[in-house]
Structure 1
Amino acid sequence: MYIYNVTTNVEETAHHAWVKWMKEIHIPEVLSTGKFLSAKFTKVLVEEDMGGVTYSVQYSVPDKATLERYYEEDAPRLIESVQRNFAGKLVSFKTELEVVDEYFVQLATATHYLFTYGTLQEKEVQLGVFSRPLVGFKDELSHYRISDIKVADLYPTLQHTGKEGDKISGQVYTLSHQELQKADAYEGDAYERIQIQLGSGKKAWVYIAK
């Protein structure tokens, strides 16, 4: 995995307007390209000799090829948008970071079961959403099947059939309440989270299309 880091020093006079624009417009536009897994918007706690306020945005991306596609297909348009709105008000520089290894503390407060059947089983997605790989176990969901209709013509969802022979195999992960909220944000408004009973008898959350 790679981290695409953008560090920006913005003038005091444009500071609040830029932060609002970044949170409400620019960062969502970057993520909407589909190239990145997540973004962290941070304030750099340093007093700059040049003045202004410094921030860093770190976008996680699964591989270098995807980042190169972002440079070619999306970056020129998004950079032009920055210049159009804040020309002469800021200075930015970019850094590419390659993740060599990661270490995590397992959370003792993880109390929610989440049944997954799609992208949340991918390690790169888990790192982007939860900042840790998840350890799960196999289970089954009866009376459901994968729907022929996909969300946004891309992403799978479930269809309740009520038929005994219909079963979906998936992975169950244990999440904290905060991690469950991160999963909600990842799945977005197109999905809703419902509670179901698995073949093992455990009750778990699962995402289905609204």
Structure 2
Amino acid sequence: MYIYNVTTNIEDTAHGEWLHWMKTVHIPQVLSTGKFLSAKMTKVLVEEESGGHTYSVQYTVPDKETLDRYYEEDASRLREDAMKLFAGKLVSFRTELEVVDEFFVHRNTATHQLFTYGTLQEKEVQMGVFSRVLGGSDDTLHHHRISNDKVAGLYPTIEPTGDSKDHIKGKVYTITEEELKKADFYEGEAYKREVVVLSSGKKAWVYLAR
């Protein structure tokens, strides 16, 4: 996994406008390219001699090839938008970081079971959504099947059939309340979350198309 880091110093006179634009326009546009898993915006707590405010935005990307495609297909256009709006008022530099390893404090606060059958089983996606790789186990959901209709024409979903012959194999993970909220945000408004009973007897949340 890689991190694409963009550090920007913005002048006081444009600070408020730029910050609002970054949160509501630019960062959502970068994520909408489909190249990145997540974005984190931080403020640098060191006063610059030249004045202004300094921020760092870190975009997580699964591999170098995907980041290179962002440079080729999207970066120039998105940078031009910033320069048109804030020409002469900001200075930015960019850094590529490769994630070598990650370490987390383990806490016994998990309270939910989540059954997955799609992209949430991918380690890169889990890192982007939960900032950790989940430990799960194989399980099966009966009386459901993969739907022929995909969300946005791309993403799989499932549908109940009532037929005992229909079943879906997947993974069940134990996650925290906060992580469940992150999963809701990742799945978006196109999906709804419902409780199902798995073949193991576990009650778990699963995402279905609305």
TM-score, structure 1 normalization:
0.98
Query: Which whole-Å CA distance do the structure 2 matches of 1:87 and 1:184 have between them?
Result: 37
Query: Which whole-Å CA distance do the structure 1 matches of 2:109 and 2:55 have between them?
Result: 31
Q: How much has 1:89 moved relative to structure 2?
A: 1.3
SS at match of 1:29: helix
| Equivalent pair of 1:144/1:159 in contact (CA under 8 Å) | yes
Residue 84 (structure 1) aligns with? 84
TM-score, structure 2 normalization:
0.98
Query: Which moved further from structure 2: 113-122 or 10-19?
Result: 10-19
Q: Does 1:100 align with 2:72?
A: no
Residue 8 (structure 1) aligns with? 8
Q: How much has 1:14 moved relative to structure 2?
A: 1.0
Q: How much has 1:158 moved relative to structure 2?
A: 0.4
Q: Does 1:153 align with 2:153?
A: yes
Query: Which whole-Å CA distance do the structure 2 matches of 1:110 and 1:22 have between them?
Result: 33
Q: How much has 1:106 moved relative to structure 2?
A: 2.3
Query: Which whole-Å CA distance do the structure 1 matches of 2:175 and 2:107 have between them?
Result: 8
Give the 4+ runs in structure 1 shifted more than 3 A.
Answer: none
Query: Which whole-Å CA distance do the structure 1 matches of 2:36 and 2:123 have between them?
Result: 14
Q: How much has 1:18 moved relative to structure 2?
A: 1.0
- CA deviation profile, 1:134-156 (whole Å, cap 9, x unmatched): 00011111110000111111100
Residue 172 (structure 2) aligns with? 172
Q: How much has 1:107 moved relative to structure 2?
A: 2.9
Query: Which moved further from structure 2: 73-82 or 101-110?
Result: 101-110
Query: Which whole-Å CA distance do the structure 1 matches of 2:193 and 2:42 have between them?
Result: 29
Residue 200 (structure 1) aligns with? 200
Q: Which runs of 5+ in 1 are unaligned?
A: none
Residue 44 (structure 2) aligns with? 44
SS at match of 2:140: strand
**Aligned pairs, number:** 210
Identity rate, percent: 70
SS at match of 2:152: coil
Residue 128 (structure 1) aligns with? 128
SS at match of 1:4: strand
Q: How much has 1:118 moved relative to structure 2?
A: 0.4
SS at match of 2:24: helix
Q: Does 1:28 align with 2:16?
A: no
Q: How much has 1:46 moved relative to structure 2?
A: 0.7
Letter in 2 for 1:99: V
Letter in 1 for 2:138: K
Query: Which moved further from structure 2: 33-42 or 14-23?
Result: 14-23
Q: Which runs of 5+ in 2 are unaligned?
A: none
Query: Which moved further from structure 2: 96-105 or 70-79?
Result: 96-105
Residue 119 (structure 1) aligns with? 119
